[in-house]
Amino acid sequence: MKKLIIIACLLLAVGFATSCINSKIENAEVKLVTAEEMQSILELEDVQLVDVRSEKEYKQEHIVNSQNIDFSSPTFDEDISKLDKEKPVILYCKGGARSAKCAKKLKEAGFEKVYDLEGGISKWRHSDKIKLEVKS
């Protein structure tokens, strides 16, 4: 009987330890979002919307209310340090490659919630789900 209780306690302890590990892994992930999901997040939360393309690309067109932090800039690390780590961040670029790399850097820097616009601005450019400012 004593052995049965000890085994049950051990199984319970392993179960708790595993669930804690899984929740830490989930929190460490970057979530890919569609344009529709991005709009919902922007409406529901105080979010930092960041375009990681070059300044030239940003000036041509960008999502309304986004800020530009060029991933290729030599001051990139310094620029992202000015963002609030406790506020959610939504990243986007042209096709998704730069924002994915940036998202990884933000998670490594300790940002809590990082979202990445799936497919970048190119995928959603002609969608009615995002509002763009376009240079005339």
CATH number at residue 41: 3.40.250.10
Percent helix, strand and coil across the chain, each rounded to 5? 50, 15, 35
What are the pLDDT digits (tens) for 61-89?
A: 999 999 999 999 999 999 999 999 999 99
In a domain, 86, yes or no: yes
Written as one letter, the residue type at 127 is S
Q: Which amino acid is at 32?
A: L
Residue 80 lies in a domain: yes
Claim: this prediction has a pTM higher than 0.85? no
93 catalytic per annotation: yes
Residue 18 included in any domain: no
Residues of the chain with pLDDT under 70: 1-28, 136
Domain count across the chain: 1
**Is 52 inside a domain boundary?**
yes
